Structure formats: structure tokens, C-alpha cells
């Protein structure tokens, strides 16, 4: 299977998928779809393209019913990058010497979308493939709410976890300051992340993102900027999903931050 995964579901039958640590149940009836999901404490491998029918979720899970006018009986899964910035917490700290550029690699969690199949497909819902925590990153006025993941990062891509619920993100840290920049967490901006996959790969395997560039102007947690190296070509990969941006990170928030800097307010 190349770009995504598709299944035909029988009416009234509950189907179960185990994707990494994500447990997902879906049931289709006339005019609506119902789903429930949770995350387990262990990674379920290997992945399969065959859901298990007649598998009921735990009784304490809440079902969500999605009303849809689509007569489609099939459902399609696809992957998306995270919808907000992600902080990758490493097991070890890394230090970048003054006026030095470091090439790092970090695993970024991905989302799964479920859509109807047909001439006018509709996205029914999306869920993260793993349990995520939230944390505030940056100053109280100019920071942002992020996802936080304990996944580790490395200077070698081969040392980063290759679990199918992650995408590999290359990060270039440019320390332009006169002091050593030390950190045990990497900030990855969501609106910079496009997802790619090599031709012919399983829909959840070998996912990578475009490069991010972190420029350090001073050796502290707030004096840095994040940009994207979207011009870097990936001859062996196809675009799977484009980067996402949350509404609160739109033009009005950036305008307010700019007003603060100009007026010295806050």
C-alpha cells in the first residue's frame, strides 16, 4: 500500500485497529460513523493492514458519533503532521559550541485521519498515534502551548527510533552566539513540517519531514528563531501531507507580538 490505507466496512460491525500504541475502534451504520480510541502503554508491532472485526472497546471509553450524508461504505486512513509545535525531550543533553552548526535528528509524532471514500470524501476525525502531553514553551507573553514527547534525539539518523508512529525530522542548530548552547529539549515548529515518504513504502513507514533550522542568537531558552529548509529536495520521497497551522498562531497573534516589540509593551 502506497499513500494511504482503505477498507470496506460492513454495516453495524465494530472494527479494531492497533497502530503503535493507538487502539482505535470504528463502526459504520446508515448515516453515521462511530469511533472510540485510547492509547496503550506498549507499542504494538508489527503493523498490519487488516482490522479485527467484532472487537469491542473497554466499557469506560466514550464513543463519538459523526453524522455524515455520504453513502460510502469505505474508509481511508492517512497521516498528517502535528497541529501544534512539539518539544522533543531527550534522555541526554546536547551542547553546541559557539559559532558551530550541529546536525540533529528527532522523531516527531504523527496523526491519523479517517475519511470516507468516494467522489466527495469527508474527513470524519483525526487522532494522534501516541499519548501526548502539553507544556508551555517560551516566555509567558510570547510563548506557545506545545506538545511534549519523551522520545530522544541524536546526531545520527540511524540512532533515532524508527517506530512507525514517528516521522524523522532533521534539525540544523546554528549557534551564532559567543557561548555554548546547551539543551535537553528541541522545539519543532508545526507550520514548518511537510511529511514525505519514499515511493512504495507502507503508509506509516519511513516518514520524514523537511529540515528545520534553529538559529541561536544567545545561549538561553528564548533567544532563537526557527525557520524551514523547504528548498532541500528529497528525490526518493513523495509529499504525503503539508504542514499545519493552528488558528491561534495566525496573523493576529504574530501582529500582537510585533506590537509588543515595537511599543515595548509587556
Which is more confident, 35 or 224? 35
Per-residue HEC secondary structure of the chain comes to: CCCCEEEECCECCEEEEEEEEEEEEEEEECCEEEEEEEEEEEEECCCCCCCEECCCCCCCCCCEEEECCCCCCEEEEEEECCCCCEEEEEEEEEEECCCEEEEEEEEEECEEEEEECCCCCCEEEEEECCCCEEEEECCCCCCEEEEEEECCCECCHHHCCCCCCEEEEEEEEEECCCCCEEEEEEEECHHHCCEEEECCCCCCCCCEECEEEEEECCCCCCCEEEEEECCCCCCCEEEEECCCCCHHHCHHHHHHHHHHHHHCCC
Reply yes or no on whether the pLDDT at 251 is more than 50: no
Q: The pTM is what?
A: 0.79
User: 227 or 62, which is more confident?
Assistant: 62
Is the pLDDT at 176 greater than 80, yes or no?
A: yes
- What pLDDT score does 233 carry? 44
Q: What is the pLDDT of residue 151?
A: 81
Mean pLDDT of the chain: 79
Of residues 73 and 64, the one with the higher pLDDT is: 64
Confidence of residue 1 (pLDDT cuts 50, 70, 90): very low
Amino acid at each position: 500500500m502506497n499513500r494511504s490505507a482503505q477498507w470496506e466496512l460492513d454495516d453495524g460491525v465494530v472494527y479494531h485497529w492497533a497502530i503503535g500504541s493507538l487502539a482505535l475502534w470504528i463502526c459504520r451504520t446508515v448515516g453515521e460513523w462511530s469511533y472510540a480510541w485510547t492509547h496503550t502503554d506498549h507499542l504494538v508491532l508489527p503493523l498490519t493492514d487488516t482490522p479485527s472485526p467484532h472487537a469491542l472497546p473497554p466499557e469506560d471509553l466514550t464513543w463519538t458519533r459523526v453524522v455524515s450524508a455520504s453513502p460510502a461504505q469505505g474508509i481511508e486512513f492517512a497521516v498528517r503532521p502535528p497541529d501544534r509545535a512539539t518539544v522533543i525531550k531527550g534522555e541526554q543533553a546536547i551542547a553546541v559550541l559557539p559559532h558551530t552548526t550541529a546536525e540533529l535528528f528527532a522523531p516527531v509524532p504523527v496523526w491519523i485521519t479517517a475519511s470516507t471514500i468516494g467522489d466527495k470524501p469527508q474527513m470524519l476525525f483525526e487522532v494522534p498515534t501516541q499519548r501526548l502531553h502539553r507544556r508551555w514553551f517560551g516566555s509567558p507573553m510570547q510563548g506557545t502551548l506545545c506538545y511534549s514527547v519523551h522520545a530522544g534525539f541524536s546526531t545520527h539518523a540511524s540512532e533515532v527510533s524508527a517506530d512507525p508512529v514517528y516521522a524523522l525530522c532533521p534539525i540544523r542548530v546554528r549557534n551564532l552566539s559567543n557561548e555554548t548552547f546547551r539543551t535537553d529539549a528541541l522545539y519543532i515548529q508545526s507550520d514548518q513540517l511537510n511529511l514525505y515518504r519514499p515511493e512504495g513504502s507502507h503508509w506509516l513507514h519511513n516518514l520524514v519531514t523537511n529540515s528545520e533550522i534553529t538559529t541561536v542568537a544567545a545561549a538561553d531558552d528564548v533567544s532563537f528563531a526557527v525557520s524551514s529548509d523547504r528548498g532541500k529536495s528529497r528525490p526518493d520521497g513523495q509529499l504525503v501531507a503539508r504542514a499545519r497551522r493552528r488558528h491561534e498562531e495566525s496573523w493576529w497573534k504574530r501582529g500582537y507580538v510585533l506590537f509588543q516589540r515595537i511599543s515595548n509593551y509587556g
